[in-house]
């Protein structure tokens, strides 16, 4: 499948979403995330991890201050701000220039993160938990990633049809707020209110979401869909994640949100060479 091309306008410049896959490095500054909870709550560790991911090829850094793993407890806005704002400040002060995405569904967190230097909003509820976050994205004219998370969907109906219905509602909220269509990406939400079989059905059919006309972000990194298949722990799921990344890229996806940047970047470069032809060979 040839990749559709889109362009995002950020404060720091333009990003093209097309045949060149973009890697988004996950930087959770939480004590309880399913895979890396507590690993990056210290300023020096946050900076070191961000520098590592950028050096390994991350194009965007996604900072999250509230875990969304199954069974996690909601975090008050102030506590979330107390986690993410120092992290954004630390990255800016350390000279990291990769665009920062704020992984939050709360308008107040999105607004203050944008003021601190974030350039992208990544909402796991697709503007449907706190629609005022759409107003924040419109105010800053920033890209917004809208994820599918619908615990109440009709499981007797077709999965993709239900996802399209959800996204149409999210996109209407975005349109009402005045967000440009060119500043939106969709995330099918692997693992979010989807069972084992549904996650693999989604991976197989993810290209059907292109009918909506937006770039796709894929977030399968270290997910339980691999653990339930392979019987391994989150940090042992790097190869499985890379396999899903390559499959989704082959189905036209654009952005890949991962913990393990180098491995997924390498896998994507092989996939790109296969689809579009390799660049000149490097000396080894």
Q: What is the pLDDT of residues 46-104, one digit of tens each?
A: 999 999 999 999 999 999 999 876 666 788 999 999 999 999 999 999 999 999 999 99
Annotated active-site positions, please? 223, 257
Residue 282 lies in a domain: no
Q: Percent of the chain beyond pLDDT 90?
A: 91
Residue 284 lies in a domain: no
Q: Are strands 22-28 and 217-218 parallel, antiparallel or unpaired?
A: unpaired
- Considering its fold, how many domains does the chain have in total? 1
Q: Cβ neighbours of residue 57 under 8 Å, at least 6 residues apart? A: 23, 261, 262, 265
Two structure tokens written together for 135: 């107003």
Whole-number Å distance between alpha carbons of 149 and 145: 13
Whether the per-residue pLDDT at 37 is higher than 70: the answer is: no
Q: How many CB atoms lie within 10 A of CB 19?
A: 15
CATH code of the domain covering residue 186: 3.20.20.20
Mean pLDDT on 9-35: 88
Mean pLDDT on 110-115: 98
Residue 172 lies in a domain: yes
Q: Report the pLDDT value the prediction gives residue 41, as an integer from 0 to 100.
A: 73
The label of the residue with tokens 């938990």 reads 129
Q: Report the pLDDT value the prediction gives residue 73, as an integer from 0 to 100.
A: 73
209-231 pLDDT, tens digit each: 999 999 999 999 999 999 999 99
Residue 5 lies in a domain: no
Q: How confident is the model at residue 39 (pLDDT cuts 50, 70, 90)?
A: low
Helix (H, G, I), strand (E, B) or coil at 87: helix
Q: Report the pLDDT value the prediction gives residue 2, as an integer from 0 to 100.
A: 86
Q: Report the pLDDT value the prediction gives residue 40, as an integer from 0 to 100.
A: 60
Q: Report the pLDDT value the prediction gives residue 72, as an integer from 0 to 100.
A: 61
Two structure tokens written together for 92: 């800016």
Helix (H, G, I), strand (E, B) or coil at 74: coil
Residue 283 lies in a domain: no
Query: What are the angstrom distances between the C-alpha of 200 and each of 120, 181, 187?
Result: 28, 29, 15
Two structure tokens written together for 28: 């959770």
Range of the domain at 130: 10-275
Residue 4 lies in a domain: no
Q: Across the chain, what does the average pLDDT equal? A: 94
Residue 52 lies in a domain: yes
């Amino acid at each position: 499948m040839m990749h559709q091309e889109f362009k995002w306008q950020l404060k720091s410049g333009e990003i093209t979403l097309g045949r060149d896959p973009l890697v988004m490095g996950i930087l959770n500054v939480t004590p309880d995330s399913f895979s890396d909870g507590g690993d990056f709550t210290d300023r020096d560790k946050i900076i070191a991890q961000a520098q590592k991911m950028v050096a390994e090829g991350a194009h965007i850094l996604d900072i999250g201050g509230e875990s969304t793993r199954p069974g996690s407890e909601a975090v008050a806005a102030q506590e979330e701000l107390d986690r993410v704002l120092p992290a954004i400040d630390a990255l800016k002060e350390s000279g990291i220039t990769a665009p920062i995405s704020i992984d939050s569904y709360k308008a107040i967190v999105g607004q203050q993160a944008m003021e601190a230097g974030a350039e992208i909003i990544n909402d796991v509820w697709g503007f449907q938990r706190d629609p005022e976050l759409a107003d924040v994205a419109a105010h800053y004219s920033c890209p917004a990633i809208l994820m599918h998370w619908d615990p109440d969907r009709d499981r007797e109906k077709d999965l993709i049809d239900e996802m399209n219905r959800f996204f149409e509602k999210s996109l209407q909220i975005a349109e009402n707020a005045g967000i440009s269509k060119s500043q939106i990406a969709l995330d099918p939400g692997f693992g979010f209110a989807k069972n084992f079989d549904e996650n693999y059905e989604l991976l197989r059919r993810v290209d059907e979401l292109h009918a909506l006309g937006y770039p796709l972000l894929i977030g399968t990194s270290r997910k339980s869909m691999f653990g339930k298949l392979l019987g391994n722990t989150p940090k042992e799921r790097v190869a499985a994640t890379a396999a899903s990344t390559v499959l989704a890229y082959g189905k036209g996806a654009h952005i890949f949100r991962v913990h393990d940047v180098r491995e997924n970047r390498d896998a994507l470069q092989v996939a790109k060479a296969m689809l579009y032809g390799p660049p000149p060979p490097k000396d080894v």
